A and B are shown apart, each in its own frame.
Chain A
Amino acid sequence: EAGVTQSPTHLIKTRGQQATLRCSPISGHTSVYWYQQALGLGLQFLLWYDEGEERNRGNFPPRFSGRQFPNYSSELNVNALELEDSALYLCASNLAGGPNIQYFGAGTRLSVL
């Protein structure tokens, strides 16, 4: 069974540009979570999508946004990139209604120059 897949693996952008990151959850999982892992800060919760709807967001500015598609895959968009957005962005999925064990993808490393 395929795990959570994320693309691209690496992304290099310049300040002010937009970045789009993609995530495909484990088959059968309807919930998708996005986290930012910046150096020295640990994983910070960004967004939660379930059944196509944004259910909650963490303490991040509105230029971090996303969506979930009918096949439960998800996109994270970061507008007006800033240098401090450089981080590993991890996507996780879980089975709605079950214990909240989140399964993670390998992440997208975003570098903002």
Chain B
Amino acid sequence: EDKVVQSPLSLVVHEGDTVTLNCSYEVTNFRSLLWYKQEKKAPTFLFMLTSSGIEKKSGRLSSILDKKELFSILNITATQTGDSAIYLCAVEAVGGGADGLTFGKGTHLIIQP
């Protein structure tokens, strides 16, 4: 059974801090790993990673995948209160949508002013 584990489950930091969120996975026939941000209800897409060692970057957010060690990290630098959200990691197996995406439980990030 495919499995995604995120850590920490919750994190409270101050505005301006840098945070690193972790995602490890066990999946048969890995295809891609995705990060989403869930603020109220709708998860919004952040990154899709398929290749090891290639960093994806968008503003203050960046992510990298290690396919050998089976994990990914999401970094947020110079955090702002608007970064407060649940960050979800999901993996996709080969076969595309056949099994949907397998999600971790998420990291609840709180940025204090």
Which range contains the number of B residues in contact with the other chain?
Answer: 20 to 34
Whether the Cβ atoms of A104 and B42 lie closer than 8 Å is yes
Q: How many residues from A make CB contacts under 8 Å with B?
A: 30
In the A-B complex, the 3 residue pairs with the closest CB atoms: A45-B100, A42-B105, A43-B103
Is A105 close to B, CB under 8 A?
yes
Closest-CB distance, A14 to chain B (whole angstroms): 24
Bound state CA distance, A88 and B40, in angstroms?
11
Whether the Cβ atoms of B98 and A48 lie closer than 8 Å is yes
Contacts of A100 in B (CB 8 A): 31-32, 92, 96-97, 101
Contacts of A94 in B (CB 8 A): 97
Whether the Cβ atoms of A103 and B45 lie closer than 8 Å is yes
User: A residues bordering B, Cβ < 8 Å?
Assistant: 3-4, 31, 33, 35, 40-46, 48, 50, 55-56, 58, 88, 90, 94, 99-107, 109
Bound state CA distance, A88 and B41, in angstroms?
8
Complex: chain B residue closest to A9, CB-CB: B41
Is B88 close to A, CB under 8 A?
yes
